[in-house]
Amino acid sequence: MLNSNKPADLRERTKGFALRIIRMYTSLPKTTEAQIIGKQVLRSGTAVGAHYREADRAKSTPDFVSKLQGGLQELDETAYWLELLVEGNIVRPPKLAALRKETDELIAIFVASIKTAKRRKV
């Protein structure tokens, strides 16, 4: 991610994350448990970018923080569903390794952004 244009890059990165989640969902087995968990991760994983876009248009610092925290909650939930897919032996760990890593990286970015915004709050 380039620091020179961080908001635009994160906007694209969260959209790319959503697209990867969609592709992952379509490749899941058609078993009941895979589809139920898959729909959960599909919902939470695709919501991250929407929350980021809302934060990007926030009217105030508290509004920005609130919207980013919503995105962070969705990321935490996405991490949980991805863990269940792996630990429930629905998907082999290597298939989700990159997606889980991206989830963790986005969590770190959102946490850092929230902390920074809170420090700048007047």
- Contact 9/1 with Cβ under 8 angstroms? yes
The whole-number average pLDDT for the span 103-107 is 98
Give per-residue pLDDT as tens, 5-52: 566 699 999 999 999 999 999 999 999 999 999 999 999 999 999 999
Q: Which has the higher per-residue pLDDT, 8 or 105?
A: 105
Handedness of CA 109, 111, 112, 113 (dihedral sign): positive
Query: What are the boundaries of each domain within the chain?
Result: 3-120
Please give the pLDDT value at position 1: 31
What number of CA atoms fall less than 13 Å from residue 69's CA on the CB side? 10
Q: Is the pLDDT of residue 122 over 60?
A: no
Please give the pLDDT value at position 25: 98
Please give the pLDDT value at position 18: 98
- Contact 71/48 with Cβ under 8 angstroms? yes
C-alpha distance from residue 74 to each of 41, 77, 87, 111, 119 (Å)? 9, 5, 20, 13, 23
Please give the pLDDT value at position 72: 98
Please give the pLDDT value at position 120: 84
pLDDT, averaged across the chain = 93
CATH topology of domain 3-120: de novo design (two linked rop proteins) (1.20.1440)
